[in-house]
Structure 1
Amino acid sequence: MGDDPSTGPAAGTPGAKNLRRAVDPVDRAILHVLAEDARITNAALAQRVGIAASTCLLRVRALRESGVVRGFHADVDPRALGHDLQAMIAVKLAAHARGSMGPFVARISRQPEVLDVYFVAGANDYLLHVAVASTAELRDFVAEHLSRDPDVGLTETSLIFEHTRAAGRR
């Protein structure tokens, strides 16, 4: 189960699954354990939650098919790949680009520097979590992929000094 590299579409994107599936206390317990250790075997997961392994397998499959579980993935430290500098870049799209939000996200999420794209409320439209090797690479990324993009009206970059993942999200 934990070695499954599949990912599903994010909620709110084309192809996103119906998240109206009822999540009961057993499902919540399964989700809690999977959030701590997505590589846990089905047998160990079933034992921790207190259900039969066959029931556990069916429930995890249903959680995946409904889109509640979007996928299982490795949490790789960007520094291991030589990306010692991380930043959050707030992006406000230009007024004329409101109809280009989907293409902007598709375009920017293909860039290797981009780890995550968040659509947010407030003064900005997006937050981009990026990882690069140096300040020069960060400058080049902003200049090449944001400042020159006619859909981008404004950016603001904040360096990340340290990141601590919330408990239960490892």
Structure 2
Amino acid sequence: MDRFRHSIPTKDVRPRELDSTDEKIIAILARDGRTTNADLAAALDVAPSTAHARTRSLVDRGILTGFHASVDYQRLGRGLQAMIGVVLRPGARHDSIVAFADEVRRLPQVLQLFFVGGADDFLVHIAVENASEVREFVVNHLSTQQSVATTRTSIVFEYHRNAVAAPFR
């Protein structure tokens, strides 16, 4: 009777290990997300169809989550960047964390928002025109929020991008 049993395929949710080709694709696209499939195939010494299939597999498996542009904020008149550490007040922490993140990440000055462990609850990465705008951002958008206990601002002198981090889920 075994021959009449229907086999139901199971979905293996374990991530397939990356091989050297996958690792090369990730490295190339992390450096330049606009690399063409033809250039990717040439760098890997594989057929374009293979490069495309391998890249598609990395996307489907959730390893590659997007392709990003690197922006020169200096040329946009926002050449001063700062990292602002934010500590929230104790209390209704979950609600405060969610409300803070929802409000701050929508501000046009914010490049990145990190929810972190350690001395700070959040790190807010901003790009503005000058020091007055850093002060204005902290005073008008952070210090005025009831949930914010303290802020600590560090000016970014230089920034080196090695790769783009995955989005928070």
- Shorter chain as normaliser: what TM range? 0.7 to 0.9
- Give the TM-score taking structure 1 as reference length: 0.80
Structure 2 gap ranges (5+): 1-12, 165-169
Equivalents in 2 of 1:149, 1:19: separation in Å? Answer: 42
Q: Tell me, yes or no, if structure 1 residue 87 matches structure 2 residue 82.
A: yes
Question: Aligned residue for 1:138?
Answer: 134
Judging changes above 3 Å, is the alpha-carbon distance between structure 1 residues 27 and 108 closer, same or farther for their aligned structure 2 residues?
same
**Greater gyration radius:** 2
Shift of the alpha carbon at 1:35?
1.5
CA contact (8 A) 1:19 1:66 kept: no
Number of paired residues? Answer: 151
Deviation, structure 1 residue 19: 9.1
Residue by residue, what CA displacement relative to the aligned partner does 1:141-169 show, whole Å, maximum 9, x if unpaired?
11111101112121100011222334x77
- Deviation digits for residues 78-133 of structure 1, max 9, x if unmatched? 11110121100001111124213233212111000000112222111111110111
TM-score by length of 2: 0.80
Unaligned stretches of 5+ in structure 1?
Answer: 1-17
Aligned to 1:109: 105
Q: Using a 3 Å threshold, how does the CA distance of structure 1 residues 68 and 115 change in structure 2: closer, same or farther?
A: same
Q: Is 2:31 the counterpart of 1:36?
A: yes
Distance in structure 2 (CA, Å) of the matches to 1:99 and 1:60: 37
Question: CA RMSD, aligned part only?
Answer: 2.0
Residues 88 and 127 in structure 1, CA contact (< 8 A), matched pair in contact too: yes
